[in-house]
Amino acid sequence: MTDISHSGSDATQEAPQLRVLAQVVKDLSFENPDANRMTPPDAAEPSIDLGIEVNANSHGAGDGFFEVDLTLKARATRDSEVMFIAELVYSGLFQLKNIPAEEMEPILLVDCPRLLFPFARRIIADVTREGGYPPLMIDPVDFVGLYRQQQRDRVDH
């Protein structure tokens, strides 16, 4: 029998770490301008415009702490009338350790929002359902594609 112990091993101390320390609703808004008018079951499907934005900033808690904001905005219209507008800023506090500098931005703008998204998606679904509509189930988001688009936009400006 072989006994292998790693007490104080340098390998575990140097391993990259991403920790989710907290998740919070930073801002939530739901506008239901014509809530008194019920939508008939045979009404046409609404048109839904969806916007997604990701921002990351270092947090004052110390080195390696970052706040990542995932903003979801949904606007539903039917026959040019606004049915509802839902806006959510869902934030996470993350701690990153032993991450190479060139990998920080992709982790903050791809991996972190990917961890936040299922919770933000559920909140939007719940609030639209409570507003009297079928729950808005946002399709999975390609955060890599969103990040690449942000990079292209920065280069163009």
Domain that holds residue 62: 16-156
Mean pLDDT to the nearest integer, 125-140? 94
9 domain-assigned: no
Residue 7 covered by a domain: no
Could you identify the residue written with the tokens 């079951």?
41
Task: Give the CATH number for residue 141.
Answer: 3.10.420.10
Q: Which long-range contacts (CB under 8 A, 24 or more apart) does 130-134 make?
A: 131/30, 131/32, 131/35, 131/84, 131/86, 132/32, 132/35, 132/38, 132/39, 133/39, 133/76, 133/83, 133/84
What digits encode the pLDDT tens for the residues 85-130? 999 999 999 999 999 989 999 999 999 999 999 999 999 999 999 9
Residue 11 lies in a domain: no
Asked if residue 65 belongs to a domain, the reply is yes
Q: What is the pLDDT of residues 51-66, one digit of tens each?
A: 999 999 998 766 899 9
pLDDT at residue 12 greater than cutoff 70 = no
Residue 10 lies in a domain: no
Count structural domains, the chain: 1
Are 97 and 64 contacting, i.e. CB atoms less than 8 angstroms apart?
Answer: yes
